[in-house]
Structures are given as structure tokens and as C-alpha cells.
Amino acid sequence: MQVHWEVPLLKVNYEAEVAQQQACDKFEQMSDKAKEELMDFKTRRVAAFRKNLIDTCRVGIEACKGAGAVVQELSGCAQRGVTKVWTDDNSAS
């Protein structure tokens, strides 16, 4: 008596191939979604970096303008011959 195992094995093999194809399709779908999310994240991070850089530059420019005003004030004092700009209570003389 011979046992025929080929038919059940073909069915199992076919089911495994179908499951493998479904897993591959699911992986590709997830991979495409991940790529989209990474591009979105990159776009948002670049925008946030750009905004922070602009804000930092604005603060730096304002600080330079303030420092320029101090330099001009000291230059004016030097031209007037003032030797002591600050008193003990830190008010200008």
C-alpha cells in the first residue's frame, strides 16, 4: 500500500506561498508609509530648524544693535573727556 503525500504537500506549499506574498505586500505597504512619514518628519524638522535659526539671528542682531549703542555712547564719552562712566551705584555720570 502506497501513501500519497504529494497532494497535501502541494496544498501546504501553496498556502505558504500565499502567506509569504501577503506578508511581502504588507511589508511593502508599511515601508511606503514609513517613507512618507520620514519625509514629513524631515520637512517639519527643517521648517522648525529654519524658524529657530531666524529667531536666533534676530536676537543676535538686536544684541549687536544694543552693543553698538553702548560703543557709540562710550565713544562720545571719550570725545568729551569723561574718564568715569559708571558711578558706584551703576548710574551713568
Summarised one tens digit per residue, pLDDT across range 25-76 is: 999 999 999 999 999 999 999 999 999 999 999 999 888 888 888 878 777 7
Stated pTM of the model: 0.52
CA 88 → CA 67, 71, 76, distances in Å? 22, 21, 21
Hey, is 86 helix, strand or coil? strand
Residue 14 exposure: Cα atoms within 13 Å on the Cβ side: 6
d(CA 17, CA 12): 9
d(CA 27, CA 33): 10
